[in-house]
Amino acid sequence: MAAPRIVVADHDRLVRDVEAGEDSPTSKKPVGVELERRFPLTRSEFVVAFGVFFVFVVGLFCVYQTMPAAEYGNLKLPRSISDLRILKEQLGTYASIHPTKFILGYCSTYIFMQTFMIPGTIFMSLLAGALFGVIKGIFLVVFNSTAGASSCYFLSKLIGRPIVYWLWPAKLKLFQAEIAKRRDKLLNYMLFLRITPTLPNLFINLASPIVDVPYHIFFLATVVGLIPAAYITVRAGLALGDLNSVKDLYGFKTLSVLFLIGFVSMLPTILKRKRIYE
C-alpha torsion sign, points 155, 161, 166, 170: positive
Q: What is the mean pLDDT of the chain?
A: 79
Beta strands in the chain (DSSP E): none
Give every CB contact of residue 88 below 8 A, 6+ residues apart in sequence.
127, 130, 131, 240
For residues 113 and 87, give the distance between their C-alpha atoms in angstroms, rounded to a whole number: 17
Q: Tens digit of pLDDT for each residue in 236-246?
A: 998 887 788 88
pLDDT score recorded for residue 74: 57
Looking at residue 88, its amino acid is K
Q: Which residues, given as ranges, of the chain have pLDDT below 70?
A: 1-41, 66-75, 268-278
Q: Tens digit of pLDDT for each residue in 216-239?
A: 999 999 999 999 999 999 999 988
For residues 54 and 48, give the distance between their C-alpha atoms in angstroms, rounded to a whole number: 10
Give me the percent of the chain exceeding a pLDDT of 90. 36
- The one-character DSSP state at 250 is S
For residues 216 and 21, give the distance between their C-alpha atoms in angstroms, rounded to a whole number: 47
pTM for this predicted structure: 0.76
At what angle are helices 81-97 and 121-132 packed, to 10 degrees?
50
The three-point CA angle 257-201-216 to 5° equals 95
Q: Tens digit of pLDDT for each residue in 62-90?
A: 777 766 665 555 567 788 888 888 888 88
